[in-house]
Chain A
Amino acid sequence: MRDPALFEYACRLGDDGLVLGQRLSEWCGHAPMLEIDLSLANVALDLVGQATHFLGLAAGAGAEGRDADSLAFHRDVLDFRNCLLVEQPNGDFGQTIARQFLFSNWQELLFADLVASKHEGIAAIAAKAVKEVAYHSRLANEWVVRLGDGTAESRGRLVDGLEWMWRFADELFDVDPVLQSLIDAGIGADPRRFHPSWDARISRVLTDAMLDAPKPRRAVVGGRIGRHSEHLGHLLSEMQFLQRAYPGAQW
């Protein structure tokens, strides 16, 4: 059944996971040590799995004849609905952890609220995913402390990473008319509700890491309506290569 608002929302939830999953996969075989390689690949796997479910749900609410795969591989930059944070380049390990730290803590709180969604499908995916994402935030939080309270080198890299990522955090809490209509319907979760909890988590971990929070800055937004940074196009050209070169190819 066509439901444009639900389609939009499910794409936002799915694209966050898909794009970050793809980004983290870039580390596979390149991470500083084997355990980190395994961790990042596992986190990527969870995120892509969650994205598959959300995009499957979006496909059911969108135009006929599409499925999770066609949404992932046959859309271009303007149709992606992920937040800008997740498409930011990996940079070094410090920058990757900074991005994961801001995102996973947000996503965990989001899914915890979505468990109560009136939409059965969203609630079921959230209930399953929240347990996985709890692992992701724990991993990121521990690394923030380890790097921040580590050597001058590790600390410097994490601080640079946070400086880069910080401007994209506000978008996570943005509520536009689409999201507002779903919040009103009891389907979407209101990020303003858990914003204080997110602030508290971030500041607790940064304190443990002996770091100050970066200074507030002008937020960069637009991902939720398809206004992306240049980085997303490059990511998609790699992720979608096979379907672009051989349209409709099947496994």
Chain B
Amino acid sequence: MVVTTATGSDLKALVFDLLSHVPDPEIPCVSVVDLGIVRDVKPGAKPSVIITPTYTGCPATMVIEQSIRAALDRAGLQNMAVETTLSPPWTTDWISEEGREKLRRYGIAPPQEQQTMCPQCGSSRTEEISRFGSTPCKALWRCLDCAEPFDRFKCH
């Protein structure tokens, strides 16, 4: 077990680094940090990590909280609380560049307002099949060039 005594900005960096290894339960190629779920770390006598849910009804919310709790405990941060905030509301703008690249490699088109590119062949000739997909955050699309269907992360 690692016991940490880090404080202030060191603590913040440490926790973000730690949680960047905690995968999203439904899209395990990205971490909860990549997705922008981890918002902040409050140091002090009663330190806490602030997280925010993606969709209000996302069934993964509780698993995410538990995975974060477990990761903190493993790193010796049992005294750190996990707090959930709704405001400001989560947006796909908070998904990191690294997270977007990971999504693309995984076969999910990252959220993008203008053009939806096929994550398989890169073509921009694509069309929506269903605005609601296998999870609340994704829509179902199809590539008109390589004919592969794919998930697209919805702009939110």
Residues of A at the B interface (CB closer than 8 Å) are: 35, 38-39, 41-50, 52-53, 120, 123-125, 127-129, 131-132, 135, 138-139
Name the distance in Å between A82's Cβ and chain B's nearest Cβ. 17
Q: A124-B89, A128-B86, A131-B89 are in contact. Are A52 and B130 (CB under 8 A)?
A: no
Q: A45-B136, A48-B57, A52-B56 are in contact. Are A39 and B131 (CB under 8 A)?
A: yes
Whether B129 pairs with A42 at a CB distance below 8 angstroms is no
Whether B131 pairs with A49 at a CB distance below 8 angstroms is no
Whether A125 pairs with B131 at a CB distance below 8 angstroms is no
Contacts of B89 in A (CB 8 A): 124, 127-128, 131
Whether B87 pairs with A120 at a CB distance below 8 angstroms is yes
Q: For the complex, is B6 an interface residue (Cβ under 8 Å from A)?
A: no
Whether B87 pairs with A49 at a CB distance below 8 angstroms is no
Whether A42 pairs with B86 at a CB distance below 8 angstroms is no
Contacts of B130 in A (CB 8 A): 35, 38-39
Q: List 29 A-B contacts (CB under 8 A).
A: A35-B130, A35-B132, A35-B140, A38-B132, A38-B133, A38-B134, A38-B140, A39-B131, A41-B132, A42-B132, A45-B55, A45-B58, A45-B59, A45-B136, A46-B55, A46-B56, A46-B57, A50-B56, A50-B57, A53-B86, A124-B85, A127-B89, A131-B156, A132-B56, A132-B136, A135-B131, A135-B132, A139-B131, A139-B132
B97-132 contact mask (Cβ, 8 Å, vs A): 1 or 0: 000000000000000000000000000000001111
Whether A42 pairs with B136 at a CB distance below 8 angstroms is yes
Q: In B73-103, which residues have CB < 8 Å from any A CB? A: 85-90
Partner pick for A128 among B56, B59, B129, B131, CB 8 A cutoff: B56
Partner pick for A124 among B87, B132, B134, CB 8 A cutoff: B87
A75 CA / B89 CA spacing, docked (Å): 30
Contacts of A48 in B (CB 8 A): 57
Name the distance in Å between A28's Cβ and chain B's nearest Cβ. 13
Q: A39-B130, A139-B131 are in contact. Are A49 and B57 (CB under 8 A)?
A: yes
Question: Which residue of B is nearest A37, CB measured?
Answer: B132
Name the distance in Å between B60's Cβ and chain A's nearest Cβ. 11
Question: Which residue of B is nearest A139, CB measured?
Answer: B131
Name the distance in Å between B77's Cβ and chain A's nearest Cβ. 26
Question: Which residue of A is nearest B57, CB measured?
Answer: A49
Name the distance in Å between A67's Cβ and chain B's nearest Cβ. 15
A38-B130, A42-B136, A45-B136 known; 7 new pairs, CB 8 Å cut-off, are: A35-B130, A41-B132, A42-B132, A45-B55, A124-B85, A125-B86, A132-B57
Contacts of A132 in B (CB 8 A): 55-57, 136
Name the distance in Å between B54's Cβ and chain A's nearest Cβ. 10
Contacts of B86 in A (CB 8 A): 53, 124-125, 127-128
Contacts of A46 in B (CB 8 A): 55-57, 136
Q: By CB atoms of chain A within 10 A, which of B59, B85, B89, B90 has the most? A: B89
A131 CA / B56 CA spacing, docked (Å): 10
Q: By CB atoms of chain A within 10 A, which of B86, B88, B133 has the most? A: B86
Contacts of B87 in A (CB 8 A): 120, 123-124, 127-128
5 residue pairs, one from A and one from B, having the closest CB atoms = A49-B57, A49-B56, A45-B57, A35-B130, A124-B87
Contacts of A135 in B (CB 8 A): 131-132
A125 CA / B53 CA spacing, docked (Å): 11
A132 CA / B91 CA spacing, docked (Å): 11
A48 CA / B129 CA spacing, docked (Å): 25
Whether A128 pairs with B90 at a CB distance below 8 angstroms is yes
Contacts of B131 in A (CB 8 A): 39, 135, 138-139
Contacts of B90 in A (CB 8 A): 128
A53 CA / B140 CA spacing, docked (Å): 28
Q: In B37-73, which residues have CB < 8 Å from any A CB? A: 55-59
